[in-house]
Amino acid sequence: MDQQHTAALGVAMVGYGFMGAAHSQAWRVAPRFFDLPLEPRMVAVAGRTASAIEEAARRLGWAAAETDWRRLLERDDVDLVDICTPGSTHAEIAVAALEAGKHVLCEKPLANTVAEAEAMAAAAAAAAAHGIQAMVGFTYRRVPAVALARQLVAEGRIGTVRQVRAQYLQDWIADEEAPLSWRLDRQMAGSGALGDIGAHAVDLAQHVTGELLTGVSGLLETFVPERPVAPGLSDDAAAARRGPVTVDDAAVFFGRLSGGGVATFEATRFAWGRKNALRIEVNGSRGSLAFDFEDMNVLQYFDATEDARLAGFRRILVTEPQHPWVSAWWPAGHGLGYEHGFVHQAVDLVRAIASGTAPSPTFADGLQVQQVLSAVERSAQADSRWVVVAPETPKED
């Protein structure tokens, strides 16, 4: 790619924590490994504290720092706003950016409530009429093994989908003395394991199968209702303070797929020994597929039509140049890592913007996942009764 003659795409980011670092790496790396129709330029990053955001800009590779995200929308050199903040801020930033004529990439879950997600999807639809694109960041779609699984299902390799098992297992707060963070505050995070990691499990199941959840029944559990606050302070009073956990620690639910199959889901941050075990198994009428992110370069495939004498799960090492995105990287057998999904996400978004086509997943897709999460919450609040996944009816005053 001749970068001197490639039109620029000015990118600005809001937030600079864990997700901000991952997105920053993606924007740095994408144009160096992929031939892109537009050259992403890391124009500015925004955060609340001047000293912290200036250091983050230097460390992560952004040209400028802003202490108010609204200033990003006033800049003519910003074409795209990348939102990596807690869910409570997504709707305000995304809607304002779209109305300002900026493309938007927003981390998942799309919002904290269905109403917020509806407003964001409506703003995205209005912006699309003017060539402005919006994408929600369900990054695990961009793992080559996951993309291959979707291809195999679409090709009919496992036949009719009958059952899906999806899990997202972590242990980062299994220790009861792990301190409070914004992810444990409902006002900021919207929900706990359900929205933070369960959203990924829902999107993965629907994406791989090409089907949607039509109804769910579930339960939510908070195992540790209080945790330490103000970590790092030395005085005894601060060390003794504890605050409430206002979200779920674990979510368990099952559902019906639009094709008639059934699906079970588990999302927990209390599974000791599981660091980032996003797993899915799809059983069909002609075979099965299985994936575990802790072995992310491998897809397991069982062909039930084979001779029983030789039948067994086939271990596919998804590192061949014929596999999705892999040809831009290393020789076969040299695996990819967590960060590569973010690079692929950036690549796909840039190409969609350049071609004027809607990127996937759209804000409408993010809204649909939010509707599933809301249905699970409502089921849990009503003794696990069956809840149809559908747009919610506004409450009358």
Question: Any idea what the CATH number is for the domain that residue 228 is in?
Answer: 3.30.360.10
Residue 170 lies in a domain: yes
Residue 174 lies in a domain: yes
pLDDT bucket at 232, cuts 50 / 70 / 90: low
Average pLDDT over residues 140-150: 98
CB atoms within 10 A of CB 340: 23
Residue 392 has pLDDT above 90, yes or no: no
- My answer on whether 251 and 161 are in the same domain is yes
pLDDT bucket at 233, cuts 50 / 70 / 90: very low
Identify the domain boundary among 140, 164, 190: 140
Residue 88 lies in a domain: yes
* Tens of pLDDT, residues 165-198: 999 999 999 999 999 999 999 999 999 999 999 9
Choose the weakest-confidence range: 38-42, 239-243, 319-323, 380-384: 239-243
- My answer on whether 107 and 176 are in the same domain is no
- My answer on whether 105 and 158 are in the same domain is no
In terms of residue numbers, what domain contains 98?
3-140
pLDDT bucket at 79, cuts 50 / 70 / 90: very high
Residue 375 lies in a domain: no
- My answer on whether 49 and 76 are in the same domain is yes
pLDDT bucket at 1, cuts 50 / 70 / 90: very low
One-letter amino acid for residue 261 of the chain: G
Residue 130 lies in a domain: yes
Average pLDDT over residues 105-119: 97
Identify the domain boundary among 117, 140, 163: 140
| pLDDT at residue 6, rounded to an integer | 82
- My answer on whether 57 and 153 are in the same domain is no
| pLDDT at residue 397, rounded to an integer | 39
List, edge to edge, every strand of the sheet that includes 298-303. Answer: 314-317, 298-303, 287-292, 277-284, 161-169, 262-268, 250-257, 213-221, 387-388
- My answer on whether 124 and 199 are in the same domain is no
* Tens of pLDDT, residues 281-321: 999 999 999 999 999 999 999 999 999 999 999 999 999 99
- My answer on whether 122 and 152 are in the same domain is no
Average pLDDT over residues 111-120: 97
* Number of domains composing the chain: 2
Residue 41 lies in a domain: yes
- My answer on whether 101 and 202 are in the same domain is no
Residue 352 lies in a domain: no
- My answer on whether 124 and 160 are in the same domain is no
- My answer on whether 102 and 187 are in the same domain is no
Residue 394 has pLDDT above 90, yes or no: no
The per-residue DSSP string of 96-118 comes to HHHHTT-EEEEESSS-SSHHHHH
Q: Give the phi and the psi of residue 290 in degrees, each rounded to 5.
A: -145, 140
The rounded distance, in Å, linking the Cα atoms of 46 and 13 is: 6
CATH code of the domain containing 102:
3.40.50.720
Residue 350 lies in a domain: no
Identify the domain boundary among 332, 356, 387: 332
| pLDDT at residue 146, rounded to an integer | 98
- My answer on whether 156 and 26 are in the same domain is no
pLDDT bucket at 391, cuts 50 / 70 / 90: confident
- My answer on whether 132 and 151 are in the same domain is no
The rounded distance, in Å, linking the Cα atoms of 200 and 358 is: 21
